[in-house]
Chains A and B, each alone.
Chain A
Amino acid sequence: MTWFNRDVIGVLDFGREDFEVLFSEALNMEKYAKSRLDLLGDKVLALAFFEPSTRTRLSFETAMLRLGGRVIGFSGTEATSMTKGENLADTIRMLDAYANAIVIRHSLEGAAKFAAEIAESPVINAGDGSQNHPTQAMLDLYTIWREFKVIDDLSIGILGDLRYARVVNSLIQALSYYRVKLHLISPELLRPRQELVEFMNSRNMKYDWTDDPYGVINDLDVLYVVRIQRERFPDPMEYEKVKGAYKVTPKLIERGKPSLVILHPLPRVDEIDFAVDNMPQARYFKQASLGVPLRMALLKLVLAGDKS
């Protein structure tokens, strides 16, 4: 299916062929990520960030500007009429009238899907609650593909908050299109939710779970680390129980394969020791930098179609 004019709500709306189109487009866009390619000069992108973001918002903004387009929007609801009591639906209707596409981040689950039902223009989900973050998962997959040239047959460890991190949800859904071995690593309290477990079973994914990264580190090609999502804990006491429960250190990494690639969607709190940053395995800053070409490719495909 073509990307043109499509909503991007969850990765499961897309397939492996769609990702391949996106990745080859992103590879092409890497040439222009620090310059300019005038493809979307007549387009306006609305960034509706109801929840904080650094990388996702700025990489979407950068991507749109590099493609010659313009950006409107807000970050946080303080300066908008939401503080006067305007609801999401009305805010989206207005942005839909102003812009050619809407990027939305919201703390409520299903907010992006709801926005897409209201808006005629394509809606791109930049994270809704603890459910979906499709463009991050596409970026994660793209980074893995750039590192290994393939995704099939890799052994991928996902360490951290498997319960509340939306990137984990979206990444595992995206990986279901590939033949990979998953090692899920987390404290007991942060094991994946029933929904994710049922999903992995329904797709016959190969996975296991452990609370000890040392037990699986030497089997991994990729170690994907996520922070504990403090803001999504219903009970702050639960957070206190698990905070600081895991930390990636040089000692752990030295036990892994020399070719190991460490990824992290960022922001980092304390789950990766700063000393790891200088190790050759650390690839999370490169991953973040690929966010611009990846989102350039996405915007180009959604707003201008597959033709170049």
Chain B
Amino acid sequence: MSSKRELIISKIRDGVVIDHIPTGRALLVLRLLGISGREGFRVALVMNVESRKLGTKDIVKIEGRELTKDELNLVALVAPTATVNIIRDYEVVSKFKVAIPDVIEGLLKCKNPRCITNQQREPVRSRFRVLSREPLKLVCDYCGTIHELNDIERYFGLT
């Protein structure tokens, strides 16, 4: 994002730039963050641009919406290489590499239809613990079912 040649879309004033997303995963990242595009704030999405680190990469820029570090860390589920730049008044005020949290609550859906967390009428939120980061394996805290990356994409409503 440093050289002018790569700058396809304009800089943002206040918001978040999620860089170094593996190619083709920018839409997944947005869905994971619960951003549909109908919320009203500006979102820019760049896919398949050159990257020194990754060969090609995707970038997502979100203007005018604050995202917490916990929310942003969830991006690591589908884009483990992603880096986040928090922008205030056109300046990068903080920068970090996303990391999968040890416990993921509420966001993802367990693929086991017989899991208690899939019952509509029970006041229960899903909860997953990270079994392994490489390769990604999450275990449902309630039913013990192991989820891998393709499960996350398929069952968690991300594809």
Footprint of B on A, CB under 8 Å? 85, 87-89, 107-111, 113-114, 129-131, 194-195, 198
Contact = CB atoms under 8 A, between A and B. Distances in A.
Report whether over half of chain B's contact residues are helix, strand or loop; otherwise say mixed: loop
B140 interface: yes
Contacts, number: 51
B106 interface: no
B127 to A, nearest CB: 10
Given A87-B122, A88-B122, A114-B124, A109 B146 contact: no
Interface string B122-148: 111000000100000001111111100
Interface residues of B, number: 19
B144 A108 contact: no
A256 to B, nearest CB: 33
A209 B118 CA distance: 33
Nearest to A198: B146
17 contacts: A87-B121, A87-B122, A88-B119, A88-B122, A109-B112, A109-B115, A109-B116, A109-B145, A110-B115, A110-B117, A110-B143, A110-B144, A113-B116, A113-B141, A114-B122, A114-B124, A195-B139
Contact of B114 (A88, A109, A113): A109
A130 B117 CA distance: 15
Contacts of B117: 110
A109 B145 CA distance: 10
Contact of A109 (B121, B122, B124, B143): B143
Contacts of B144: 109-110, 131, 195
